[in-house]
């Protein structure tokens, strides 16, 4: 039997998301529960994968099944594809299993050509209908040319603008049927000019090219960027949904809209959305016209609005989550075109999750599982300082499309935003309206300001998804994109001028307004409380200063997983002493210089121990190569020479001697302590003295410093440095007449350390994976230079993600897993964590949970992200175990049932045999039961672990 590539909407349901994509599965589900969905079909995600395996071609079997879907669609809808008398026009839309708004392509009004257009108009003499037909035709030509044939839409937009200017009108809806007919002819000429061939008129050819275009869009640049940012694997592919057109642009009794069952910006339980009369779906999303609020639909189409309200209630009760819906009204009749769990701000996500628990839709664990941890970052972003804001006067106002505060220099293109950010500038991207092509510029900007578009425009939806501040639909802006300037509030702004925007209120300000950290309260604490109950992994922070440690504690950190001591040496009063140590001629001189630093180090550690209030503090000893601490400019070298009583030539020679061909793999980490043990002695004394002092001050705390030796690749290195640490620490403890406990562990950041973890575990109290260096050394990528070529690796699909941002499970992950499995049996009390940047990445946190780490450590502002991700990993594991148990229970029941049947048959058979040879019926029965019991015992032994 041939593989099934195509499913009618009536054949699927929401459980088939992986096969039908999110849009297809939800269209099928809405069909199943009786909602008004135009009946079409879905070409599966597997067909997309096959398309790429076949060299980007649709094979005959897939196309044949698609045309069979068209035939069934014709029967259901009473129209015929390509027919002149009663033509079936269709839309072709993408639909991956994960929502990717605006990232892939859609084609509407497919099936039109000159003959079909003429026949449709001939069959309906109404001038308004003629206008509708030509409006649909020019839209189709433009969309097909842009999406399918990759002719830039700018050529067609220029023709539209010329036509509107010629006719003296502002909006497309003001153009007449004759104007649109002329535009359609101009579009076809432009198509031929750009491609050298006529616009395709065969509907079947149009359909095949459109399906190929949607599959091809899975691999377009903006989709690739979005997938990388949202951990969506390339291998998933996209489905294609083909459905009959319903026309919001048919007349003034028709329209189209987008709505949410709850406010996606605040989470408030109220219908929120927008609607446009006499329009098609892309008009709302693209922001070409500023739409009316959804509530106004009640005045325009009361019956359709009443039905829509019921649909909203049905969908939210069915999916138990906030729904994002697209719909069309044709001649006052409602049609549902899409539903999905709506994108929302982090603030809204927390409120919605809590409300759904209170309303009985979700359990606490389900509420925790439904929040994207990455979005919590946005809760911690700056807001405008209240005092500064009070003094500021808005120069304009748009829609507060995505909350937060942003300020920066104005840029007018996505490319400029990327370029300016690369130079270290903070920018605000100002556009007439954004499009999916602007995604990289939107990511680079601090905030986005658009002239057109509403709360559901591309800019608004994408900005909310990225957690970026956005103000949309500021119609008072008079824009001149070509000259890179605009006028607002009586002032002309140019590229590079400073501006501030408030994504909550929609206010726009001239100049830079001071910002402050956001304050977290309310639902955040409630959700994080549920998360903490669910998670197993502890969450620590990477902090080098008391201020960082304090902030991390406020955000729920349970310790410090990494304190980089080298950051403490760069203060002006310390760097001179450290340089004196580097330039010393012997150990005694080095020790004398280090003695000057010791009080500073001790004070630093005391403040960290105080901030952590008895929670674990892991202090990494000096790691970077010494050349990073010495001056490289002549003036600075001369100054150092004078301070140390040396000549400039002597200092210059020392500096030159410290240079290395590959410093990241050179004289650094534990190698420094092997060469200069006095550094380790000083740092140990500072740590232990600080811990003793804080412990005496707070007798109810349990201060146990964790001393971490970096860059160990050979157990003897660790043993050498550890001996120095123990000798110094024990002497300090004895001198203080106390019994302070401490631990000595190591970072696992060299592949050899992971491979020999069983040996290293004998000398270590703990392991901490330094995955920044471990990734660097495993891939042999320089983390400082990899950005120069990683783009090519993404384009060629060699890599899907930056391995420094998302943990490489197949390589680095295997080394981590190996180190745990080698180390734990040797040292069962070994505790293990991670302190690379991956400690705050949700996918990496999930992996850390799976391989059995004890904690993750991340930057302070990512602590809530890690807490939530750790909880979700535990909840997912629990759900998977429950599902496996359920499956095993069913399998076991079937085995026992089968065994019982076989036992009964065997008992009867033996009983008959015995009965035939013996008159003793009792004996026959006994032998039969005995055989049955033996069979049951066998089955029980096989399944007792289940």
Residue positions annotated with a catalytic role: 458, 835
Instruction: Show Cβ contacts of residue 904 under 8 Å, excluding neighbours closer than 6 positions.
Output: 932
Strand order of the β-sheet with 292-293 is 292-293, 272-277, 255-260, 323-330, 333-341
How many CB atoms sit inside 10 A of residue 598's CB? Answer: 17
> In 342-495, where do the E strands start and end?
383-384, 396-397, 399-402, 405-411, 427-431, 447-450, 469-472, 478-480, 485-488, 491-494
Contact 338, 258 (CB under 8 A): no
> In 546-648, where do the E strands start and end?
560-564, 617-620
Angle at 488 between CA 485 and CA 491, to 5 degrees: 75
**305: three-class secondary structure by DSSP:** helix
Sign of the torsion angle spanned by Cα atoms 339, 345, 346, 349: negative
Sign of the torsion angle spanned by Cα atoms 557, 560, 566, 568: positive
Beta bridge partners of 562: 542
DSSP annotation of 80 reads B
The distance of Cα 375 from the centroid of its chain, to the nearest Å, equals 8
Distance of alpha carbon 536 from alpha carbon 224, whole angstroms: 34
Question: What are the structure tokens assigned to 75, written together?
Answer: 């029967």
Question: What are the structure tokens assigned to 511, written together?
Answer: 């100049």
Question: What CA–CA distances, in Å, run from 117 to 347, 679, 784?
Answer: 49, 84, 59
Contact 573, 554 (CB under 8 A): no
Distance of alpha carbon 225 from alpha carbon 228, whole angstroms: 5
Distance of alpha carbon 140 from alpha carbon 201, whole angstroms: 12
Distance of alpha carbon 634 from alpha carbon 811, whole angstroms: 44
Closest CA to 185 of 129, 226, 142: 142
Contact 194, 151 (CB under 8 A): yes
Distance of alpha carbon 11 from alpha carbon 27, whole angstroms: 11
How many CB atoms sit inside 10 A of residue 839's CB? Answer: 33
- Using CB atoms within 10 Å of the CB of residue 170, give its burial: 0 to 12 exposed, 13 to 18 middle, 19+ buried: exposed
DSSP annotation of 148 reads I
Strand order of the β-sheet with 6-8 is 6-8, 41-43, 238-244, 90-96, 106-110
Contact 173, 254 (CB under 8 A): no
Helix (H) or strand (E) holding 182: helix 177-195
CA dihedral 649, 655, 658, 664 (to 10 degrees): -160
Question: Which residue shows structure tokens 């709302």?
Answer: 284
Q: What is the CA radius of gyration of the chain?
A: 34
Helix (H) or strand (E) holding 743: strand 743-748
Distance of alpha carbon 758 from alpha carbon 827, whole angstroms: 8
**187: three-class secondary structure by DSSP:** helix
Contact 936, 899 (CB under 8 A): yes
Closest CA to 131 of 178, 163, 167: 178
How many CB atoms sit inside 10 A of residue 823's CB? Answer: 24
Contact 769, 196 (CB under 8 A): no
């Amino acid at each position: 039997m041939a593989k099934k590539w195509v499913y009618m909407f009536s054949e699927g349901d929401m459980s088939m998301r992986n096969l039908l994509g999110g849009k297809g599965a939800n269209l099928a589900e809405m069909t199943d529960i009786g909602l008004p969905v135009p009946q079409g079909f879905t070409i599966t995600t597997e067909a997309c994968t096959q398309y790429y395996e076949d060299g980007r071609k649709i094979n005959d079997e897939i196309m044949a099944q698609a045309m069979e879907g068209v035939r069934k669609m014709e029967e259901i809808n009473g129209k015929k594809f390509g027919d002149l008398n009663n033509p079936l026009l269709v839309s072709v839309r993408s639909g991956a299993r994960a929502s990717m708004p605006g990232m892939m392509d859609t084609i509407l009004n497919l099936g039109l050509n000159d003959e079909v257009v003429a026949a449709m108009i001939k069959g309906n003499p109404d001038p308004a209908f003629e206008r509708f037909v030509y409006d649909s035709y020019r839209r189709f030509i433009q969309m097909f040319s842009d999406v399918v044939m990759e002719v830039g839409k700018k050529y067609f937009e220029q023709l539209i603008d010329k036509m509107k200017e010629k006719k003296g009108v502002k909006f497309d809806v003001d153009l007449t049927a004759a104007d649109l007919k002329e535009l359609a002819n101009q579009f076809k000429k432009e198509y031929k000019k750009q491609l050298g061939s006529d616009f395709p008129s065969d509907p079947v050819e149009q359909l095949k090219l459109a399906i190929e275009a949607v599959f091809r869009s899975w691999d377009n640049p903006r989709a690739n960027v979005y997938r990388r940012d949202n951990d969506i694997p390339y291998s998933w592919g996209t489905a294609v949904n083909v459905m009959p057109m319903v026309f919001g642009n048919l007349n003034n009794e028709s329209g189209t809209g987008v709505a949410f069952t709850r406010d996606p910006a605040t989470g408030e339980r109220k219908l929120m959305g927008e609607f446009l009369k006499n329009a098609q779906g892309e008009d709302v999303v693209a922001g070409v016209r500023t739409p009316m609020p959804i509530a106004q639909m009640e005045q325009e189409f009361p019956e359709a609005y009443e039905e829509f309200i019921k649909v909203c209630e049905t969908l939210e009760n069915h999916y138990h989550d906030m729904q994002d819906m697209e719909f069309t009204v044709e001649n006052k009749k409602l049609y549902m075109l899409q539903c999905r769990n709506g994108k929302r701000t982090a603030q809204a996500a927390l409120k919605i999750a809590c409300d759904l628990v209170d309303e009985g839709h979700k359990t606490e664990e389900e509420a925790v599982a439904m929040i994207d941890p990455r979005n919590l970052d946005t809760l911690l972003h700056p807001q405008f300082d209240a005092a500064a804001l009070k003094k500021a006067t808005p120069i304009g106002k748009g829609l507060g499309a995505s909350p937060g505060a942003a300020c920066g220099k104005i840029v007018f293109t996505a490319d400029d935003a990327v370029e300016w950010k690369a130079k270290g500038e903070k920018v605000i991207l100002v556009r007439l309206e954004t499009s999916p092509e602007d995604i990289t510029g939107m990511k680079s900007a601090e905030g986005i300001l658009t002239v057109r578009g509403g709360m559901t425009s591309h800019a608004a939806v994408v900005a909310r998804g990225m957690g970026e501040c956005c103000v949309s639909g500021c119609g008072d802006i008079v824009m001149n994109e070509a000259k890179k300037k605009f006028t607002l509030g009586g002032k002309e702004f140019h590229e590079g001028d400073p501006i501030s925007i408030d994504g909550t209120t929609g206010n726009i300000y001239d100049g830079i307004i001071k910002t402050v950290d956001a304050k977290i309260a309310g639902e955040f604490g409630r959700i994080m409380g549920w998360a903490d109950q669910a998670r197993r992994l502890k969450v620590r922070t990477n902090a080098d200063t008391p201020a960082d440690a304090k902030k991390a504690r406020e955000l729920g950190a349970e310790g410090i997983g990494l304190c980089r001591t080298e950051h403490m040496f760069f203060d002006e009063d310390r760097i001179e002493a450290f340089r004196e140590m580097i330039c010393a001629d012997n150990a005694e001189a080095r020790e004398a210089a280090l003695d000057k630093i010791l009080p500073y180090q001790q004070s630093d550690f005391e403040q960290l121990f105080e901030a952590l209030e008895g929670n674990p503090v892991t202090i990494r000893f000096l790691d970077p190569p010494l050349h990073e601490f010495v001056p490289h400019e002549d003036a600075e070298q001369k100054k150092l020479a004078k301070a140390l009583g040396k000549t400039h030539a002597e200092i210059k020679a020392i500096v030159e001697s410290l240079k290395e061909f590959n410093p990241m793999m050179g004289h650094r980490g534990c190698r420094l302590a092997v060469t200069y043990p006095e550094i380790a002695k000083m740092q140990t004394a500072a740590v232990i003295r600080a811990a003793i002092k804080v412990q005496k001050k707070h007798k109810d705390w349990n201060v146990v410093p964790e001393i971490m030796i970096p860059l160990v690749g050979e157990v003897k290195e660790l043993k050498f440095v550890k001996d120095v640490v123990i000798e110094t620490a024990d002497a300090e403890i004895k001198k203080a007449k106390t019994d302070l406990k401490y631990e000595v562990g190591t970072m696992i950041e060299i592949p050899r350390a992971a491979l020999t973890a069983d040996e290293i575990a004998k000398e270590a109290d703990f392991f901490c994976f330094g995955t920044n260096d471990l990734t660097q050394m495993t891939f042999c990528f320089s983390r400082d230079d990899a950005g120069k070529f990683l783009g090519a690796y993404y384009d060629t699909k060699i890599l899907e993600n930056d391995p420094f941002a998302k943990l490489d499970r197949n390589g680095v992950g295997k080394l981590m897993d190996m180190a745990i499995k080698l180390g734990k049996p040797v040292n069962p009390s070994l505790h293990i964590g991670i302190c690379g940047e991956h400690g705050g990445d949700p996918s990496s946190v999930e992996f850390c949970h799976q391989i059995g780490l004890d904690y993750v450590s991340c930057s302070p502002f990512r602590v809530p992200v890690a807490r939530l991700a750790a909880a979700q990993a535990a909840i997912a594991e629990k759900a998977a175990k429950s599902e496996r148990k359920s499956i095993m229970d069913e399998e076991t029941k079937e085995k026992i049932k089968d065994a019982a049947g076989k036992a009964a048959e065997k008992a009867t058979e033996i009983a008959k045999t015995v009965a035939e040879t013996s008159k003793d019926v009792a004996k026959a029965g006994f032998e039969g039961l005995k055989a049955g019991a033996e069979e049951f015992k066998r089955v029980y032994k096989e399944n007792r672990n289940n």
